[in-house]
Amino acid sequence: MTDVEQPPTQAAQREAVVDLLGVLAYAELSAFERLASDASLAPALEQQAALGEMAVAEFGHFVTLRDHLAEMGVDPTVAMTPFVAPLDDFHDSTAPADWLEGLVKAYVGDGFASDFYREVAEYVDDAPTRELILAALADTGHAQFVVEQVRAAITADETVAGRLALWARRLMGEALVQAQRVAVDREALTSLVGGGDLVRIGELLARLTARHTERMEKLGLKA
């Protein structure tokens, strides 16, 4: 450990990229399963189908990332395995109690993850991999659906806003606990992002928090 930033070696860069693709792939696969399963909380068949479509889009991203790992000569299962426990624990500790909690989780979780991976992709020196990550994070066009549903629920019952704002804070808390765990375990990945530079990590967190606050405002919730 050192405070002086070192340019990563080629091996360390590759290790970090494999980690990044691995965590992203399993994040998409588990998001697919949880979204599909949360769809059963929908109050009507149209919303159930809409959440299903979001889930299928995540599965498509998973396939792209898995196939890219295989093309790099990496076993996708090996790359994903270190991230199964943290992501499963995150989902287990944040199972939505109802449809609105499910929607907020899909929107806040997907948004935050998307911002984070986009930031990390900037540090990937292999252009095709970088582009692949950005494509996997492309807006699936379902965010607007969630915003409309949540705003309508708040208009119908103002007390919903307080409850969902608390829920979103819990989601962020649990996400940070698991991110911390990954950061400690996966040194190459952490170096890729922060390079040992605490100022840079601080700036990254500030940007992510600002964008989270914007998303909460769009939903009509206090961050």
Residue 121 and residue 133 in contact, taking contact as beta carbons nearer than 8 Å: yes
Q: Which of 29, 137, 164, 221 binds a copy of itself (CB under 8 A)?
A: 29
User: HSE-up of 138 (CA within 13 Å, CB side)?
Assistant: 10
Long-range contacts of 176-183 (CB under 8 A, 24+ apart): 177/90, 178/86, 178/87, 178/89, 178/90, 181/86, 182/23, 182/82, 182/83, 182/86
Q: Does residue 56 touch a copy of itself according to CB under 8 A? A: yes
Q: CB neighbours of 79 closer than 8 A, spacing ≥ 6?
A: 18, 19, 21, 22, 25, 69
Task: Give least dist CB 54 to a copy of itself, A.
Answer: 11
Q: What tokens were used for 104?
A: 């907020």
Q: Which is closer to a copy of itself, CB of 75 or CB of 157?
A: 75
Task: Give least dist CB 39 to a copy of itself, A.
Answer: 5
Q: Which of 6, 9, 40, 180 binds a copy of itself (CB under 8 A)?
A: 40
Q: By CB under 8 A, how many residues form the interface with a copy of itself?
A: 26
Q: What tokens were used for 23?
A: 């965590």
Q: Which is closer to a copy of itself, CB of 7 or CB of 73?
A: 73
Alpha-carbon separation of residue 191 from 17, 20, 106, 188 (angstroms): 11, 12, 29, 5
Q: What tokens were used for 165?
A: 């704002």
Q: Which of 17, 62, 142, 219 binds a copy of itself (CB under 8 A)?
A: 62
What is the C-alpha separation between 54 and 97, in angstroms, rounded?
A: 19
Site track for a copy of itself across 125-164, x = CB under 8 A: ----------------------------------------
Site track for a copy of itself across 81-120, x = CB under 8 A: x--x------------------------------------
Q: Which of 16, 18, 80, 124 binds a copy of itself (CB under 8 A)?
A: 80
Q: Which of 8, 12, 14, 33 binds a copy of itself (CB under 8 A)?
A: 33
Question: Residues interacting with a copy of itself, by CB under 8 A?
Answer: 26, 29, 32-33, 36-37, 39-40, 44-46, 48-49, 52-53, 55-56, 59-60, 62, 66, 76-77, 80-81, 84
